[in-house]
Amino acid sequence: FQVLSSLGYHVVTFDYRGWGDSIGSPSERGMTYDALHVFDWIKARSGDNPVYIWGHSLGTGVATNLVRRLCERETPPDALILESPFTNIREEARSHPFSIYRYFPGFDWFFLDPITTSGIKFANDENVKYISCSLLILHAEDDPVVPFHLGKKLYNIAATSRSFRDYKVQFVPFHTDLGYRHKYIYRSPELPRILREFLGKSEREHHH
């Protein structure tokens, strides 16, 4: 948030239901609904300014659910940024041994609550086929939580999807030597430039 803020962006974020200061219990539908509500709240107050959606980790599932719905109702955001995304929850679950989930916020309820297990998809790979806006994917090669190959696979699905044919789809890998793993991409000195170049197009269009 501080990196984005220092670049001049306003950042609005919220605790998922059941986490932090939010009441309730988490569900895929509920988290997506909350995100939609927040988007509409922002859109009502943002005037002509562009609005971007940023999802990280489990949040990429919420983000693509949200943006798919926004595109279906023809109110797409100006861009979607996915940091360390997976293809869908099943592939993510199959990708590495169970012990890793202790480090993945939110996965405790996914795995330990059998009632939710059956209903949770977070199908990024399916959602991208219904999304029409600029897409940027950021992934570290040494990510131990969401394997790099899942982010790359998601990019390949999006890049060949007809829904993106008029939009920029970009994949930015971060080399293992950098040590950014699952949650330190924000430390990249390149990030401001990457964002400026990616968002520049929609910003320029916006200012004319």
* Residue in 34, 139, 182, 202 annotated catalytic: 182
Alpha-carbon distance of 68 to 132, in angstroms, equals 8
Helix (H) or strand (E) holding 11: none
What the block records as the tokens of 75 is 């109110």
CATH number of the domain within which 31 lies: 3.40.50.1820
What DSSP character marks residue 62? H
* Residue in 34, 57, 132, 139 annotated catalytic: 57
Residue 43 pLDDT exceeds 60: yes
Confidence at residue 207, expressed as pLDDT on a 0 to 100 scale: 44
190 occurs within a structural domain: yes
Catalytic, 149? Answer: no
Which percentage of the chain shows pLDDT scores above 90? 70
Amino acid at 177: D
pLDDT in tens, 159-169: 999 999 999 99
pLDDT in tens, 93-104: 777 655 555 566
Alpha-carbon distance of 143 to 128, in angstroms, equals 22
Question: Which range of residues forms the domain containing residue 63?
Answer: 1-199
> For the whole model, what pTM was predicted?
0.88
Contact assessment for residue 24 and residue 30, using Cβ atoms and an 8 Å cutoff:
yes
Catalytic, 182? Answer: yes
Catalytic, 15? Answer: no
Total domains present in the chain: 1
